[in-house]
Copies of this chain bind each other. A is one copy, B any other.
């Protein structure tokens, strides 16, 4: 890693969720993750203009408890599975631990928070970006 080519990211908001620890979270949002609130920093609220209930969005998170020095993992933390490269897995542990979560917006609350369905990120996870999902590109 060279500082000449590194870049800085910062939270635009945070996840509020009943999930408190990584061990509490399902591996993927579609595996029974609870609803969550995305609290956006006040200064970034204008960026939400155009997001409404029913939309599918991508939430990019900073997986703040991840290890960044790992290049091989057991898929789904299942030690009976052979090691695979981190880029062939969705493990949180990876050189740049950025999570990509597709969720449905249930509501935009009066303070600008987004209530979303089925998010596997734990409480306090920093949010880096929100994008609309693109149905023509397979929904991502």
Select which of B2, B12, B30, B85 is within 8 A of A10 by beta carbon.
Answer: B2
Task: Determine if A110 is an interface residue (Cβ-Cβ < 8 Å).
Answer: no
Cβ-defined contact, A89 with B132, below 8 A = yes
Contact with B along A32-56 (1 / 0, CB 8 A): 0000000000001011111100001
Cβ-defined contact, B9 with A98, below 8 A = yes
Q: How large is the interface on A (under 10, 10 to 19, 20 to 34, 35 or more residues)?
A: 35 or more
Cβ-defined contact, A48 with B88, below 8 A = yes
Cβ-defined contact, A50 with B89, below 8 A = yes
A-B contact pairs, 28 of them (CB 8 A): A1-B8, A1-B10, A5-B10, A5-B126, A7-B8, A7-B9, A7-B10, A10-B95, A28-B136, A44-B95, A46-B85, A47-B85, A47-B94, A47-B95, A48-B87, A49-B83, A49-B84, A49-B85, A50-B88, A90-B131, A94-B129, A100-B100, A100-B131, A133-B138, A133-B140, A138-B140, A139-B139, A140-B140
Chain A interface residues toward B at CB < 8 A: 1-2, 5-12, 28-30, 44, 46-51, 56-58, 60, 62, 64, 71-72, 83-90, 94-96, 98, 100, 102, 126, 128-134, 136-140
